[in-house]
Amino acid sequence: MKKFALVSVLLASLTACKTTVPMRDFNNNLVPTTNQTLTQTDVAKAILKACVQLGWQCQKLESGKIAGQLNIRSHQLMVDINYNAKTYDIKYKDSVNLKYNGKKIHRQYVNWVNNLIRHTNAELI
């Protein structure tokens, strides 16, 4: 029984140490369907509002493109958000202190971007 408990604690601590996940972009996020027709401007407003709610610093660069930056403690994430009236993409641009090596990145990256997607979709409904 003691061996089982020791092995369980060891396995739990090893999985807790995993700090990176495979890198990915978040492409083709569908704009939720509603009873009203949404425009590209509506999508931009929803993205910008979600950014503010979550502490992102976002700036509209041109029609269809927003630059986003999130600063949390010693971490910094920069993304490009391309959008139209039907879909939007969130693409990694750069980071500081997120262990990015071209293939992997800090596990919080996925959580932060998914949170931005959820809040954006909530604004669009």
Over the stretch 52-89, which tens digit does the pLDDT of each residue have? 999 999 999 999 999 999 999 999 999 999 999 999 99
Q: Token pair of 89, please?
A: 């993409």
User: Coil, strand, or helix at residue 25?
Assistant: coil
pTM of the complete model: 0.83
Q: At what angle do helices 108-124 and 40-54 cross, to 10 degrees?
A: 130
Q: Which amino acid belongs to residue 5?
A: A
pLDDT attached to residue 116: 98
**Domain positions in the chain:** 20-124
- Return the CATH number of 20-124, one of 3.30.310.80, 3.90.1150.10, 3.40.50.1220, 3.20.80.10: 3.30.310.80
The encoded tokens of residue 97 equal 């202190």
The CA distances from residue 2 to 9, 16, 117, in Å, are 11, 21, 45
**The pLDDT of residue 45 is above 70:** yes
